[in-house]
């Protein structure tokens, strides 16, 4: 398993980590299989979405904020319940197929680390089973 460090710079943002995942798969040396990308944090997430128009990421962040507003009548004393909810909505992991040694992603897809309670130092675990990587 490889662990990638991600430094986020605002309370909520998406960080494109596709290149890190590509590196992990290349170093694992597999031709075919599956790669798991996992976020070990309860106020962040992993998702796959569009990388062409940056407004898509902004709309995703704004849409999630409408679903789970930062300032609302939450019970949790840390004041970051919106981030916990956004984390669960998007999920802690993503799986990507590997074929001919490359990630199988659509033309406009990237893998994003999704920060919802930053800025923070974060980790992402990337595992390619059966390779020790």
Check if the beta carbon of residue 130 is closer than 8 Å to that of residue 36. no
Q: Assess 87 for contact with Zn ion (CB under 5 A).
A: no
The token pair at 112 is 């994003």
3-state secondary structure of 26: helix
Among 80, 87, 110, 127, binds Zn ion (CB under 5 A): 80
Q: Which C-beta is closer to Zn ion: that of 16 or that of 78?
A: 78
The token pair at 97 is 């197929």
Q: Assess 47 for contact with Zn ion (CB under 5 A).
A: no
In angstroms, give the least distance from the CB of 79 to Zn ion: 8
In angstroms, give the least distance from the CB of 120 to Zn ion: 12
3-state secondary structure of 51: coil
Q: Which residues bind Zn ion (CB under 5 A)?
A: 78, 80
């Amino acid at each position: 398993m490889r662990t990638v460090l991600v430094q986020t710079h605002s309370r909520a943002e998406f960080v494109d980590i596709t290149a890190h995942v590509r590196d992990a798969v290349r170093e694992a040396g597999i031709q075919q299989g599956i790669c798991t990308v996992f976020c070990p944090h309860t106020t962040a997430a992993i998702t796959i979405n569009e990388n062409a128009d940056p407004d898509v990421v902004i709309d995703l962040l704004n849409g999630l904020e409408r679903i789970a507003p930062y300032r609302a009548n939450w019970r949790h004393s840390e004041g970051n319940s919106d981030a916990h909810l956004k984390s669960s909505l998007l999920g802690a992991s993503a799986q990507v197929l590997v074929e001919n040694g490359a990630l199988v992603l659509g033309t406009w897809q990237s893998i994003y680390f999704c920060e919802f309670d930053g800025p923070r130092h974060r980790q992402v675990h990337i595992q390619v089973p059966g390779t020790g990587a």
